[in-house]
């Protein structure tokens, strides 16, 4: 216990150095300090904080009090990972059913409450303490600095404001590094957003990929505004490569994606300028497991991302099944940052849809398929059942709704051998139906691109 306290002091002392540089706006020294961070230092920090998190959860969280003490009787920093692997998973459904069971501080010490509505599942109530708030702001601001932001920037936040809380977290973090914030939200029309960008000389935009994509298509910024805009930071959804290119071409800034969960206070990791996956911050421990068996997979293999929060005071989560499919990227990033990386999210464990003769598809399969067709601005696929066969109803957003484009899309689908075989050989799939549309469904919120609308689920 004494050694743990000493190690905790040393880890926190290093973090305090970064915080002081941040508060003094000494970004050049801060970036140099980051570049010198060694994997051993990050690993020690994670182990020390993991021990404290497990003990805090076992003593104070009503949910974890029921079983966690039995697992951590001989806990120390050397065996913390081995013990962690034996602890049962925490699921999204458990948090949804009774979020208050996870509250590990007295109600009187709660600084804020917000909510999350994920792609699936019911509402979750998320509690934060005052310390949690500062850590959230701090983590976000470090990510902003890593993307080149500083006190000279003017940031326009086009995320939705409200119980989701992401927009307010970003706003607080931006102000921590003296960035001017324009909280326009996503309820303003695109011409209104354009007016703010041009009138107030916006240099950074924050928003969801789908909203920013539509903004990029509709706003038609002046060349002066495009040259001034230097960064577009986005999260909450995936982003096909052709969309990234269009956003950068139309708006002018460099796109940076981040990965996060509101259950963890938001930011888990983000892209660097190398744009090669997400660097995972030291505020969490990641595991990749087989979605069916729950067993750890080898580094580099795809599986479900499982996260354990570190240093979260109000609502720690242990081995939380995110439902997101990713993998650990093996090797160093060319940017030099020594933080571990995960690949871009391939889909969700519950996003896979069986089509035809039992082949399972993630939405990313079709994202990559349509990336190469420049006329396709966006799409979604609905699977229905007709004459005992599966039918792929493919809705295409385009300005070029011709027979030629329809055939090009069908030809591209046929490059998937499994689809072609199920249409021509197993006869379990009908010819695909291409439907051209003028607008997207629910374009301002997260939505699925692969939807199963059959009367029964396999």
When comparing pLDDT for 348 and 139, which is higher? 139
pLDDT band for 117, please (50, 70, 90 cuts).
Answer: low
pLDDT band for 211, please (50, 70, 90 cuts).
Answer: confident
pLDDT in tens, 261-296: 889 987 888 998 899 999 988 889 999 999 989 999
Residue 144 vs residues 231, 268, 270: alpha-carbon distances, Å: 10, 13, 9
Whether pLDDT at 122 is above 70? no
pLDDT band for 148, please (50, 70, 90 cuts).
Answer: confident
Mean pLDDT of the 235-242 span: 81
How much is the pLDDT for 442?
Answer: 59
Q: pTM surpassing 0.75? A: yes
When comparing pLDDT for 74 and 237, which is higher? 74
The pLDDT > 90 percentage for the chain reads 49
Q: Where is mean pLDDT largest: 14-18, 64-68, 161-165?
A: 64-68
Residue spans per domain, the chain: 130-348, 353-452
Mean pLDDT of the chain: 86
Residues in Cβ contact with 159 at an 8 Å cutoff, skipping those fewer than 6 apart = 166, 167, 170, 185, 186, 206, 207, 208, 236
How much is the pLDDT for 444?
Answer: 46
Strands in 433-437's sheet, in edge-to-edge order, are 433-437, 389-397, 378-386, 450-452
How much is the pLDDT for 139?
Answer: 83
Whether pLDDT at 430 is above 80? yes
Strands in 231-234's sheet, in edge-to-edge order, are 180-182, 154-157, 204-207, 231-234, 254-261, 266-270, 278-280, 341-342, 328-329
pLDDT in tens, 362-375: 777 888 788 788 88
**Alpha carbon distance 163, 186 (integer Å):** 14
Mean pLDDT of the 315-334 span: 94
Class for the domain spanning 353-452 = alpha beta
pLDDT in tens, 53-98: 999 999 999 999 999 999 999 999 899 999 999 999 999 889 988 9
Whether pLDDT at 379 is above 80? yes
**Alpha carbon distance 212, 378 (integer Å):** 13
Span 130-348 CATH architecture:
3-Layer(aba) Sandwich (3.40)
The pLDDT > 70 percentage for the chain reads 87
Residues in the chain: 458
How much is the pLDDT for 393?
Answer: 93
How much is the pLDDT for 170?
Answer: 93
How much is the pLDDT for 72?
Answer: 95
Whether pLDDT at 300 is above 70? yes
């Amino acid at each position: 216990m004494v050694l743990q306290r000493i190690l905790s002091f040393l880890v926190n002392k290093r973090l305090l150095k970064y915080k002081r540089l941040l508060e003094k706006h000494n970004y050049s020294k801060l970036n140099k300090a980051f570049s010198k961070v060694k994997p051993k230092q990050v690993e020690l920090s994670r182990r020390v904080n993991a021990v404290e998190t497990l003990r805090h959860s076992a003593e104070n969280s009503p949910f974890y009090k029921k079983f966690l003490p039995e697992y951590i009787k001989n806990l120390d920093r050397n065996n913390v990972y081995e013990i962690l692997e034996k602890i049962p998973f925490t699921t999204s459904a458990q948090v949804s059913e009774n979020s208050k069971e996870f509250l590990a501080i007295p109600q009187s010490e709660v600084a804020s409450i917000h909510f999350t509505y994920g792609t699936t599942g019911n509402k979750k109530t998320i509690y934060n303490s005052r310390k949690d708030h500062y850590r959230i702001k701090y983590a976000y601001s470090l990510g902003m600095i890593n993307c080149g932001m500083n006190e000279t920037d003017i940031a326009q936040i086009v995320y939705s404001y409200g119980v989701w809380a992401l927009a307010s977290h970003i706003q607080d973090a931006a102000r921590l590094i003296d960035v001017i914030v324009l909280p326009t939200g996503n309820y303003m029309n695109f011409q209104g957003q354009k007016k703010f960008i041009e009138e107030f000389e916006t240099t950074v935009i924050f928003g969801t990929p789908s909203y920013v994509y539509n903004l990029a298509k509709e706003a038609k910024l002046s060349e002066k505004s495009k040259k001034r805009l230097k960064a577009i930071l986005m999260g909450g959804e995936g982003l096909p490569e052709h969309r990234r290119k269009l956003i950068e071409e139309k708006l002018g800034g460099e796109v940076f994606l981040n990965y996060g969960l509101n259950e963890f206070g938001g930011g888990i990791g983000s892209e660097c300028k190398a744009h090669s996956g997400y660097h995972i911050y030291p505020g969490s421990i990641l595991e990749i497991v087989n979605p069916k068996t729950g067993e750890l997979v080898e580094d580099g293999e795809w599986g479900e991302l499982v996260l354990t929060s570190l240093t979260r005071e109000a609502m720690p989560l242990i081995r939380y099944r995110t439902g997101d499919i990713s993998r650990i990227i093996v090797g160093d990033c060319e940017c030099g940052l020594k933080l571990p990386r995960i690949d871009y999210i391939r889909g969700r464990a519950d996003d896979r849809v069986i089509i035809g003769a039992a082949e399972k598809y993630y939405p990313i399969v079709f994202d990559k398929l349509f990336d190469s067709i420049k006329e396709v601005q966006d799409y979604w696929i609905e699977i229905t059942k007709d004459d005992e066969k599966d039918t792929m109803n493919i809705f295409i957003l385009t300005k070029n709704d011709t027979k030629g484009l329809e055939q090009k899309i069908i030809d591209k689908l046929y490059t998937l051998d499994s689809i072609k075989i199920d249409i021509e050989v197993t006869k379990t799939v009908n010819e695909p139906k291409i439907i051209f549309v003028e607008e997207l469904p629910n374009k301002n919120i997260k939505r699925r691109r692969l939807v199963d609308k059959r009367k029964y689920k396999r």
